[in-house]
């Protein structure tokens, strides 16, 4: 951290998205949320908004991070300007469910402002 901000916050969109993924895999809720704008929007593509703002995200990810085995793996990544497109695989043993999705992150001013998920 530098001056209270995560080090990656001044980095490229790819570095910011990777740093939030690393925090996700550590189940570090505050570290994870630090990479998001206060009014960030999460949605299922194309327009099913699921969370707006950090408080709604906090509720969702508090529950998700309660599982000590939750893990996100990047299968492929593409970067186009301020957009980072990840093909992700989420596992959360002991559940046998594996979630595969594409996540499109938009980064502005060092923060993730939106994530759109495409699921099969």
Question: Domain holding 93: CATH number?
Answer: 3.10.450.50
Number of domains in the chain: 1
For residue 93, the model assigns a pLDDT of 77
- Asked whether residue 49 is domain-assigned, the answer is yes
**What is the span of the domain harbouring residue 114?**
7-118
For residue 10, the model assigns a pLDDT of 58
- Asked whether residue 52 is domain-assigned, the answer is yes
- Asked whether residue 1 is domain-assigned, the answer is no
Closest-CA residue to 55 (of 75, 30, 72): 30
d(CA 89, CA 72): 6
pLDDT, tens only, 45-56: 888 899 999 999
pLDDT, tens only, 59-77: 999 999 999 889 999 999 9
- Asked whether residue 2 is domain-assigned, the answer is no
pLDDT, tens only, 2-54: 444 444 445 999 999 999 999 999 999 999 999 999 999 999 988 889 999 99
Looking at per-residue confidence, does 36 or 96 come out higher? Answer: 36
Name the pLDDT band for 101 (thresholds 50, 70, 90): very high
Whether residue 13 contacts residue 90, with contact meaning beta carbons closer than 8 Å, is answered with no
For residue 1, the model assigns a pLDDT of 41
């Amino acid at each position: 951290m530098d001056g209270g901000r995560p080090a990656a916050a001044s980095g490229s969109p790819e570095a910011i998205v990777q740093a939030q993924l690393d925090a996700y895999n550590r189940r570090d809720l505050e570290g994870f949320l630090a990479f998001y704008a206060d009014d960030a929007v999460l949605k299922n593509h194309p327009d099913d908004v699921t969370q707006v703002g950090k408080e709604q995200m906090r509720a969702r990810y508090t529950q998700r991070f309660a599982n000590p085995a939750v893990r996100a793996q990047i299968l492929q990544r593409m970067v186009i300007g301020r957009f980072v497109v990840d093909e992700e695989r989420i596992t959360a043993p002991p559940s046998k469910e594996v979630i595969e999705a594409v996540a499109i992150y938009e980064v502005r001013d060092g923060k993730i402002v939106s994530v759109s998920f495409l699921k099969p």
